[in-house]
């Protein structure tokens, strides 16, 4: 039990384990495992660098910079998740709807498929154009 108190004392004032550190450590382990199968010193070096950076983040006392890095990671993650969700939704609706862009303002408009030629009015700029579905 004394070793646990020593670890807790050592970790006091440190940034600790967060989501970005977890992703870095997992990516480092994946690169390390890939290095065994693929071979190559570069893959192994990337894995070690990711593990080292994750450990540096966990043991760092500079909480402000680590928090800023976490916020940047979370914003990038949110953008990627949003784009993935949009692509997945568009892929699921591809048989029922066709997505077209307004030639004037580039607003995306969803049109039902199987209606031959449609006269479309853009909801944003009120431009009227004809599209084939």
pLDDT confidence of residue 60: 86
Q: Which two tokens stand for residue 10?
A: 């050592």
| Helix, strand, or coil (residue 28) | helix
- The pLDDT tens digits for 39-88 are 889 999 999 999 999 989 988 888 889 899 999 999 999 999 999 999 99
Q: Phi then psi for 93, rounded to 5 degrees?
A: -100, 10
Q: What is the pTM of this model?
A: 0.71
pLDDT confidence of residue 45: 94
Higher pLDDT, residue 17 or 104: 104
> Is the Cβ–Cβ distance between 53 and 23 less than 8 Å?
no
């Amino acid at each position: 039990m004394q070793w646990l108190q020593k670890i807790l004392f050592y970790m006091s004032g440190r940034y600790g384990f967060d989501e970005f550190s977890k992703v870095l450590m997992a990516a480092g382990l994946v690169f390390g495992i890939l290095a065994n199968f693929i071979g190559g010193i570069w893959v192994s070096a990337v894995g070690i660098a990711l593990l080292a950076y994750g450990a540096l983040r966990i043991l760092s006392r500079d909480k402000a910079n680590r928090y800023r890095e976490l916020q940047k990671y979370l914003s990038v993650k949110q953008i990627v998740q949003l784009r993935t969700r949009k692509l997945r939704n568009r892929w699921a609706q591809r048989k029922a709807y066709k997505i077209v862009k307004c030639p004037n303002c580039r607003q995306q408009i969803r049109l039902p498929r199987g209606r031959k030629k449609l006269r479309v009015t853009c909801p944003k700029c009120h431009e009227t154009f004809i599209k084939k579905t």
